Amino acid sequence: MVYKNFQLPDGTRLDIETQNGKIIKIGKVESSNAKDMKGAYILPKLVDLNVRLKDGTLSAKTVQECVQDAQVGGVGHIVLQPDSNPPIDDEVVLEYAQNAIKETKEIGIDLLIDALQEDLSLSNIAILLKKGALSARMSTIAKNDIAMKVAQYMQMYKRALFCKAEDNSLISAGVMFEGDVSSKLGLAGIPELSEVVHVSRMIEIARYYDIAIHFQSIASPRSLEMIEKAKNEGVKLSAEVSLHHLVFSDLACENFNTTAKIDPPLVDESMRKELIKALQNGRVETLTLLHQPSSPVNKEVAFYDAAYGSSALSDAWALYYTKLVKSGIVSLEDVVKTAVENPSRLAGIEVPKLEIGESIEKFVALDVDSSYKVSNSNSLYNGEEIFGKTTYLS
């Protein structure tokens, strides 16, 4: 197969010839039977380290639905979160989850295990890691003695701890960010300190035990400042921010819009702008779409009772391109770094290289001259026109 007129993120144009799914020639390729890509970008498939299944339900069906969304959006590898139903916190559920994903050939899937059981006691981390889990995820609702034991396991097995910074006493009452909008709506808010205090705590645990911590879905610019300062001091840290927090503020929750009820909650406009600056300044290692789809029955209720989450995987590359690149926030190369290269490193997978012998199936074509309207009531972007039709290659 010969593909003519591809475009690289830096604007370079080239042709690619493949045979049996492998790249055999890059550059100028003469062919009378070539497919004209008309300047579409050739890009590696996305990697997302923070994905949840529909309604948080762990089953072969919800896994397959997630895989289908990922394929449509140009996502090649995902890491499923363990706070599902049932939670991945023991051997039985881990094996169940592994069976649910084992037939999946279309994309790569890794599993995290929950470092905490439902009673907040320590799960059997050693056994679960030996049985094939990528690493452990811990919410900072864990008490200090438990968090320190988790750190010791990470030190022993040389794994990065995936960490969600939150305060149990604050998140249990609040349903959105504490600010002017929550006051206007009369809804209990979650203060910024819920995250910031625990980021500080976990930085010191990472420093003391000399372990790597990947902070998931950071929403506070202050958290990113502390993480960056500690990194400069030699602490092994990385920070993730969701696309939603870069695009929307808590104003999206007005009129009790339950689609905008996500976890962590959307922050105010000034903080949103600071998160964008942090991304532009390189303080954000990875991006996530924070995919957490919900059935209408769990969203079309009062805001307080509505489930958290929004669906995004099926529009992945188009959303990143439209919201970050086309809008002028960052370059396409920056998106590849934060949504492919850095998350690949954290997941321990190879980043595909556009070279002879590489599988063409690891790449997608993104036609940014084509647009479409998002048609998904569970998406924050529903009804918006976005640019970037994704085509798979073979």
The pLDDT tens digits for 250-260 are 999 999 999 99
Least trusted range by pLDDT, from 6-15, 27-36, 161-170, 265-274: 27-36
317 assigned to some structural domain: yes
386 assigned to some structural domain: no
Q: What is the pLDDT of residue 380?
A: 98
Name which of 2, 1, 3 is nearest 41 in CA terms. Answer: 3
> Is the separation of the CB atoms in 220 and 167 below 8 Å?
no
For the chain, the domain total comes to 1
- Quickly state the pLDDT bin for 178 (edges 50, 70, 90): very high
Q: What is the pLDDT of residue 107?
A: 96
Say yes or no to pLDDT of 33 above 90: no
> Is the separation of the CB atoms in 43 and 57 below 8 Å?
no
Q: What is the pLDDT of residue 83?
A: 97
334 assigned to some structural domain: yes
5 assigned to some structural domain: no
26 assigned to some structural domain: no
Question: Is 0.85 topped by the overall pTM?
Answer: yes
Average pLDDT value for the chain: 96
Name which of 263, 364, 243 is nearest 56 in CA terms. Answer: 263
Say yes or no to pLDDT of 30 above 90: no
Q: What is the pLDDT of residue 371?
A: 97
227 assigned to some structural domain: yes
Cα 35 to Cα 33: distance, rounded to the nearest angstrom: 7
Say yes or no to pLDDT of 170 above 90: no
Say yes or no to pLDDT of 78 above 90: yes
Q: What is the pLDDT of residue 394?
A: 84
Side chain identity, residue 376: N
18 assigned to some structural domain: no
Q: What is the pLDDT of residue 323?
A: 98
State how beta strands 237-242 and 213-215 pair: parallel
15 assigned to some structural domain: no
- Quickly state the pLDDT bin for 311 (edges 50, 70, 90): very high
Say yes or no to pLDDT of 138 above 90: yes
Say yes or no to pLDDT of 169 above 90: no
Mean per-residue pLDDT, 220-234 = 98
At 146, which CATH number?
3.20.20.140
> By residue range, what is the domain housing residue 321?
45-351
Q: What is the pLDDT of residue 242?
A: 98
